[in-house]
Amino acid sequence: MELKTKLFINGKWMDSSSKERFKVYDPSDNSVIAEVALGTKNDILEAIESAEKSFISGVWSGLTIFERSKILHKVSDLIGRYSNELAEIESKDVGKPIFESANIDIPSGAQTFEYFADMAVDICGETIPSPYKEVIDYTVREPLGVVGMIIPWNFPFLIACRKLATALAAGNTVVIKPASWAPLSTLMLGGIFKEAGLPDGVVNIVPGKGDIVGTILCEDPRVHEISFTGSTEVGHLVMSSCAKRLKGCGLELGGKSPALVLPDCNMQETIDGILFGVYLSQGECCCAATRLIVHKAVYEEFIERFVEGSKNIKIGMPLDKDTRMGPLVDKKHLEKVLGYIETGKKEGGKILCGGQRLKESPFDKGNFLSPTVFVNVGSKSRIAQEEIFGPVAVILKASSEEEMIKLANDTSYGLAASIWTKDIKASHRLASKIEAGTVWINLHNFVFPSGPYGGYKDSGIGRELGREGLLSLTQTKNVMIGLFEPGFKWY
């Protein structure tokens, strides 16, 4: 599968109107792996025009649901066919282990298209009871129009698939801005759509600077909805910009997800599950388990076993199949995470393992950071409150269920949480009190196409995935039919 580095507009690959390009780096050694066309104001306006014309023409929205479903199934099949190439591109671009790309990200992207290809046939209205027997009242679900999408760099392929599959199943057209740090796998989707037979102009992909491409997507009146995944800070700006046009926006933002460890948990299952929850994708995960709230009865045992597990994580090059944790995505992000570690030390936190950049060969040229575990941290400290977005866990001690809930909710975020217990009653009791969009019981970091995903509080607005996410990208029209006998008058 050929690497794509140009803009994808109206079914064609093209250079930037300015001819400018930007470099994409391999985070394992900071070498240049590609130079990608840098979209300009003119380019994003052309992409929006292409998407609008495509929508108005009905080349996609005018197809039957079954015709759209057939093409989306082809997209899923093609992702499976090119899975090896896509996984390698994703790992080189982002730094995540090929084990994750090949077994989680790419297959999940294919499953998402497959799921929404089937769900497309389930977009339907309902018959509404009327106070008059002479009036039939019903609703229909219609697509919104042009949907603008802004993709993050941590799961660029998978999140692009989630947003695209949902919007396309609903009959919308799309303009998508890939992440500047990791645009390559999103660009590859353009070729897949072309091969699958998606009509030209239905999906347009324009890499570019956020303050240009992203801002225009949010402000242009021809774009009817924005779907954004990223930081809470930028999410506030996106929502403010959309508000000026009364434009809808779905925001999946930051997180500081707690994992509550109860005394009766299966300790080995808990350690294994939380290690996955903390360190998946180097901790560069919105719903990562970054605040471990452990009951005092098992606090010492948990710390000992969790630190041992953290030390045993295989750090390596992204394309090594044995690697379980690769480099952070970019040098600037590495410095940001290291800054948080220094802040944690100054706040009185004690590091039990990790906390250092790996400087020995073969890691010396890359952005590698050892798994880091903090204890003796105050619940109001920055590292316990703010999203670090790296392989850093903070362990807090609690003496009761009530204290665990208080600590779990003591943050501005509310994306996800997990509860580790054998007690089914306790799991439901605690889940009902946690302020989060997703609560896992005895697992963490599992997201399925069929389940709605999104956050409470500063973690976002709206839901992606599932029936709820699909219907959020439609609008409802109420239709009434009068069956009054001839001669009916109101005057």
> Would you mind telling me the total number of residues written for the chain in this entry?
491
From 218, 249, 285, 286, the catalytic residue: 286
272 pLDDT above the threshold of 90: yes
* Residue whose C-alpha is closest to residue 372's, from 442, 275, 485: 275
Report the distance separating Cα 421 and Cα 440, nearest Å: 11
Tens digit of each residue's pLDDT (9 = 90 or more) over 462-478: 999 999 999 999 999 99
Amino acid occupying residue 15: D
488 pLDDT above the threshold of 90: no
487 pLDDT above the threshold of 80: no
Tens digit of each residue's pLDDT (9 = 90 or more) over 85-131: 999 999 999 999 999 999 999 999 999 999 999 999 889 999 999 99
Tens digit of each residue's pLDDT (9 = 90 or more) over 131-156: 999 999 999 999 999 999 999 999 99
CA 77 to chain centre: 22
Q: Count other C-beta atoms under 10 Å from residue 127's C-beta.
A: 9
pLDDT at 90: 98
Tens digit of each residue's pLDDT (9 = 90 or more) over 411-423: 999 999 999 999 9
What is the residue extent of each domain of the chain? 7-253+459-478, 257-441
Tens digit of each residue's pLDDT (9 = 90 or more) over 204-213: 999 999 999 9
44 pLDDT above the threshold of 80: yes
Residue 324's φ and ψ, nearest 5 degrees, are: -115, -10
Whole-angstrom CA distances from 470 to 124, 166, 466 are 11, 5, 6
Has 401 been annotated as catalytic?
Answer: no
Mean pLDDT throughout 333-343? 98
Please report which confidence band the pLDDT of residue 304 belongs to, taking 50, 70 and 90 as the band edges.
very high
Q: Count other C-beta atoms under 10 Å from residue 482's C-beta.
A: 9
Please report which confidence band the pLDDT of residue 35 belongs to, taking 50, 70 and 90 as the band edges.
very high
Has 124 been annotated as catalytic?
Answer: no
Please report which confidence band the pLDDT of residue 485 belongs to, taking 50, 70 and 90 as the band edges.
confident
Whether the CB-CB separation of 392 and 341 falls below 8 Å is answered with yes
Tens digit of each residue's pLDDT (9 = 90 or more) over 238-271: 999 999 999 999 999 999 999 999 999 999 999 9
Tens digit of each residue's pLDDT (9 = 90 or more) over 212-247: 999 999 999 999 999 999 999 999 999 999 999 999
Question: Could you give the 3-state DSSP secondary structure of residue 468?
Answer: helix
Token pair listed for 223: 């774009």
* Residue whose C-alpha is closest to residue 331's, from 229, 181, 185: 181
Amino acid occupying residue 453: Y
From 88, 114, 252, 464, the catalytic residue: 252
Please report which confidence band the pLDDT of residue 363 belongs to, taking 50, 70 and 90 as the band edges.
very high
% the chain with pLDDT above 90? 97
Tens digit of each residue's pLDDT (9 = 90 or more) over 366-384: 999 999 999 999 999 999 9
**CATH homologous superfamily of domain 7-253+459-478?**
Aldehyde Dehydrogenase; Chain A, domain 1 (3.40.605.10)
Report the distance separating Cα 372 and Cα 394, nearest Å: 9
491 pLDDT above the threshold of 90: no
CA 310 to chain centre: 25
CATH of 257-441, one of 3.40.309.10, 1.10.357.10, 2.60.40.790, 2.40.10.120: 3.40.309.10
Whether the CB-CB separation of 8 and 203 falls below 8 Å is answered with yes
Q: Rounded mean pLDDT of the chain?
A: 97
1 pLDDT above the threshold of 90: no
Residue 202's φ and ψ, nearest 5 degrees, are: -70, -40
Q: What is the pTM of this model?
A: 0.96
pLDDT at 273: 98
pLDDT at 489: 75
